[in-house]
Each structure stands twice: as structure tokens, then as C-alpha cells.
Amino acid sequence: MTEHAPVPVFQPHVGVDTIKAVVDALHAGWLGMGAITQAFEEGLARFLELRDRHVLATNTGTSALHLGLLAAGVGAGDEVITPAFNFVADHQAIVATGATPVLCDVDDATLGLDPDKAAALVGPKTKAVLPLHFGGRPGRLKELYAMAERHRLRIVEDATHAFGSRADGRMLGSFGDITCFSFDPVKVITSIDGGAVVVGDRELLERLRHWRFLGIDRETHERYKNSRAWEYDVVGQGFRYHMTNINAAIGLSQLARADEFIAARRASCRLYNERLAGLDGVRRPATDFTDVAPFIYTVRVEADQREGLIEHLKRRGIATGIHFLPAQDFSFLKGCRRGDLSVTERVTREILTLPLHTLMPAAVVERVAAAIREYFGAR
Ligand SMILES: Cc1ncc(COP(=O)(O)O)c(C=O)c1O
């Protein structure tokens, strides 16, 4: 990238390995869900260090969340507590089950769900909690599990930002209740579009397989052999949420390099932290990214400085993003606000996503950091 080349917020790495994987999968001729989907699931299980848990690949992270919620028994009339500081995919996945999202505030330090505020929102209709591991950081997960146990609630973890992150040394997905991932175009690894759900029991996995493919009982087993069952039963409601061989081939090629991608992203985040240290007006994430597989790198600035900084960076060819807008302000979710959302209200005005690419040259991080230092008048 030259000195003045535009810097996008996201830039996945698509190498010749990924291109070759797609071409090979296309030539193999079985384009839909098949043997490569199964191989991707097996690869995910190894990467996530699953021992007695099971993974199911889906066509998006949103459908993984929908299925994860169904697996938790969430349905019509239930309530699910989830951050207001979150992407609307989570809120829509909850609504898709017939349940109502209850918007909860986040913890100022980790930007993950605040367990105390979540506990205060528990009522007779509460069925589950859906925390987000914002930016790849698991937040106060242990406290959330303790809270959920006290109130007999299920936890569906949104780990779409945190593929490869660990909590207390354990890979997210390898423990806990239900965990969901995304492999959309800009995630740590991509299958172009894709997702996965991890559950703890085999019977549940079988139900997930039915939900994933139109409620058809034999579909998964046959398709994993690149064939189809022409006689089958339909055992319940189902969706068309399966991952194709082509997407799985892309996912597998990226998975083979996941450690390298994560290490590179982590190094970029650490360099940002270093270069923005001591800069008045910029609050960096309070982590050194050990055990974090970062999806985005965000800073917080005074609310009245954000627009100016965005414009300043834009003039220098540097794009930024905002994760997230306050969900309580969306017309569709207005009725889902219950308690105090003061942290969300503040953070959504202060947060700014800086460019973070899969394999990002240090010079690009230096350029972004220098432009930010320039804006705040530091050298
Ligand atoms: C927090 C969060 N949850 C869920 C999703 C949905 O994932 P997908 O785009 O794979 O449907 C995203 C996607 O960006 C996300 O950021």
C-alpha cells in the first residue's frame, strides 16, 4: 500500500490458497452442502479444541444465533437479555424465535454485557441471556454464567467477534452452554458468508441438523456423502440455513491460516495501543490482547470530537466505522428498553472503529496512528 492509498476499515486476506480451494470445490461438482461442509465442521472442532462438544456449520452468523436460541429452548412469549450495544443481527435472531429482546447496558471497561444490570432485568419471562464478546474480548463471562445459574437461564454466547479468543485459557466454544460464530466477509476468518453453533450434547446436534435443513431427517447424513436422500421424513419446522461445499472450502482454506491471521491482527492492535498511548483525548481498549483474537480495534474519544476526527481521517484517506449505534433508538426496538442504558448511550457517541485488516502492514497502523496524533495535536 502506497503512502496515500485509501485505507479501508476492513480488509480480509484472500490468498491463492483460498482461490485454489474454491476452484477445486467448483470442479468437484457437488456445490451444495456436502463432504466439505463436514470437513469444515471437523476442522472447526479441532481448532476450537472441542472434546465433548459438537459444532454445526450454518450459512450466516445470524442463522447460527437463531438456531442457538432455538437450541436453548427460546420461543414465543420468552424474553432474552442482550446488550443494547450490539449488532441488530442478535435482536433479529431473538425476534425470529418469537421471543422479545430485552436491551441491557454494558460494562464500561470491557464493553460486554454488565452482569449486575442483566440480573436486574430478569423477570418471569426471561429464558436466556445473549452476551456479545465485543471486538473479541469475552468480558465478564464468568460472572454472567454465575448469574445465569442463579436464575436458571440459558446462555447463548455471541462469539461472532471472537473466533479464536480464550477466556481463562479456554477457547470460547469449548466450554459453557451454546456458542455462535460468524465467518462473514470481514470476520477473522471468512467463508464469504457462514456461521457455526457449538452445543454440548449430541441429541441437540441432531435437532440442529433438522432445523438447519427444512426439518428433513436424513438430509445431513446423505449430503455429507455428496448425495441426497429421495425418501425422507419431515420431522418438524426447519429453515434453509446450511453451509454449501463452496463456502466450506473457502472457510477451510482460511481456517488453515487462522493462527497466523489472529497473530497478525493481535500485533496490529498492540501497535495501535503503543502508538496511541498517552494521547490525551483517546481512550484505548484496556487489554494487551493476550488471548484475544481481535475482530475490530476501537478507541473512544469525547463525543464532540468524534465527527471531527472521522472527517480528519477521511481527508487522509483513512476510513473508520462505528460499532455500534444504540439499538434502543431503532424504531423496531423502541419497546425493548427496560433499565438504565447510560453506558450504552455514552459509548455509542464515543466509539470509533479504526482500520484493522487480516494481514496489515505495520506502516498502515503507523499512518493511522500518526493521523490521530496529528488531530489531537500531539507529535
Ligand atoms: C455482533 C454481531 N452479531 C452477529 C453478527 C451476524 O453475523 P453474520 O453477518 O455472519 O450473519 C454480526 C455480524 O457482523 C455481529 O457483528
- CATH class name, domain 258-375: alpha beta
Give me the percent of the chain exceeding a pLDDT of 70: 99
Ligand 1: centre distance to CA 161 (Å): 8
Residue 189's pLDDT is: 98
Ligand 1: centre distance to CA 160 (Å): 6
- Report the nearest atom of ligand 1 relative to the CA of 134: 1
Mean pLDDT of 203-221: 94
Ligand 1: centre distance to CA 61 (Å): 5
CA of residue 52 relative to chain centroid, distance: 23
Ligand 1: centre distance to CA 89 (Å): 6
Residue 203 CB-density burial (10 A; 0-12 exposed, 13-18 middle, 19+ buried): exposed
What does each C-alpha distance from 167 to 96, 188, 214 come to in angstroms? 29, 17, 35
Residue 282's pLDDT is: 98
Residue with cell string 465485543: 134
Residue 3's pLDDT is: 64
Name which residue sits closest to atom 15 of ligand 1, judged by CA.
Answer: 87
Alpha-carbon distance of 54 to 308, in angstroms, equals: 47
Task: Return the amino acid letter for 323.
Answer: H
Indicate whether 379 pLDDT > 80. no
Name which residue sits closest to atom 8 of ligand 1, judged by CA.
Answer: 61
- Report the nearest atom of ligand 1 relative to the CA of 158: 3
Q: Which residues lie below 8 Å from residue 130, measured CB to CB, with a gap of 6+?
A: 65, 69, 80, 81, 82, 90, 94, 155, 156, 157, 158
What does each C-alpha distance from 283 to 50, 51, 303, 331, 351 come to in angstroms? 36, 39, 12, 31, 9
pLDDT in tens, 318-328: 999 999 999 99
All structural domains of the chain with their residue ranges? 11-255, 258-375
Say if CB 301 and CB 352 are below 8 A apart. Answer: yes
Phi (first) and psi of residue 199, to 5 degrees: -130, 165
Across the chain, mean pLDDT equals 97
Residue 2's pLDDT is: 54
What does each C-alpha distance from 71 to 56, 177, 255 come to in angstroms? 12, 10, 26
Could you tell me the fold of the domain covering 11-255? Aspartate Aminotransferase; domain 2 (3.40.640)
- Report the nearest atom of ligand 1 relative to the CA of 184: 10
**Which of 82, 85, 160, 250 maximizes ligand 1 atoms within 8 Å of its Cβ, making it the mutation to test the pocket?**
160
Name which residue sits closest to atom 2 of ligand 1, judged by CA.
Answer: 87
Q: Which residues lie below 8 Å from residue 38, measured CB to CB, with a gap of 6+?
A: 224
Of the candidates 313, 308, 239, the one whose C-alpha atom is nearest the C-alpha of residue 69 is: 239
Residue 237 gets the label, from left (phi > 0), alpha (psi -120 to 50) or beta, of beta
Give me the percent of the chain exceeding a pLDDT of 90: 96
Indicate whether 117 pLDDT > 60. yes
Ligand 1: centre distance to CA 181 (Å): 8
Say if CB 106 and CB 347 are below 8 A apart. Answer: yes
Ligand 1: centre distance to CA 144 (Å): 21
pLDDT in tens, 246-267: 999 999 999 999 999 999 999 9
**Which residues contact ligand 1 via a Cβ below 6 A?**
60-62, 86-87, 89-90, 132, 158, 160-161, 182, 184, 195
Say if CB 142 and CB 172 are below 8 A apart. Answer: no
Alpha-carbon distance of 12 to 175, in angstroms, equals: 28
Residue 229's pLDDT is: 87
Ligand 1: centre distance to CA 290 (Å): 23
CA atoms within 13 A on the CB side of 201: 6
**Confidence category of residue 348, pLDDT binned at 50, 70, 90:** very high
The CB density around residue 313, as the number of other CB atoms within 10 Å, is: 21
pLDDT in tens, 125-172: 999 999 999 999 999 999 999 999 999 999 999 999 999 999 999 999
**Confidence category of residue 4, pLDDT binned at 50, 70, 90:** confident
